[in-house]
Structure 1
Amino acid sequence: MRKKTIVGERAGRIIRFHRDLKDMTREKLAEQSTLSTGYIGQVERGERTPSLEAIYKIAVGLDMDAMVLLEEITEESLPPIEEFVKKNRPEEN
């Protein structure tokens, strides 16, 4: 079983939102994006984090700009850099 990621979970929610908005089935999105229905389902459930190539193919399937989809996925999905650095910086003596 794959470990879920923040980006993967957000990608799934955003992709599902756009698919529902366009009243598309998973099967139709899979056909139009040249990906499998199973893969689309795994992405939407956050079980798989799509690669950049998969995001591009899904955007084509959704008839939208890949950069817009990528921006929506990454927007606010990662902690601010200061928070990340503080959390991951080694303790100072």
Structure 2
Amino acid sequence: MVHVSSSTARERFARAMRTLRQTKGLSQEDLAERAGLHRNYIGSVERGERNVGIDNLERIAQALETELIDLIGRSD
């Protein structure tokens, strides 16, 4: 049986992304610039408001200097 958390995958990913960004001492603006995305987009991802496409997931992971699989794995 698979355990399903009460929070959505999107919410868990948002928390993992925010935590890693903060651990690296980056602001949302810094991350947005590194990823080539708008700062409002990064904020909405971190609030769990957006479903993020695979291309943007990869851009965010690269900007955080981590592998995509590791970033996604943090959200388990």
- Asked if these proteins are the same fold (TM beyond 0.5), I'd say yes
Alignment RMSD: 1.3
Equivalent residues of 1:8, 1:49 under 8 A apart: yes
1:19-78 Cα distance to aligned partner (Å, 9 max, x none): 0000100010001011110010000001112121111100011011111112223x2xxx
- Segments ≥4 residues shifted beyond 6 Å: none
Aligned length: 70
Higher relative contact order (CA 8 A, sep 6+): 2
Give me the TM-score of the superposition, normalised by structure 1.
Answer: 0.70
Q: How does 1:21-32 map to 2 (within 5 A)?
A: 21-32=23-34
Whose radius of gyration is greater, 1 or 2?
1
Q: Which amino acid aligns with 2:20?
A: H
Identity, % of aligned pairs? 34
Q: Which runs of 5+ in 1 are unaligned?
A: 76-93
Q: Which runs of 5+ in 2 are unaligned?
A: 1-6
Indicate yes or no: 2:64 matched with 1:62. yes
Equivalent residues of 1:11, 1:49 under 8 A apart: no
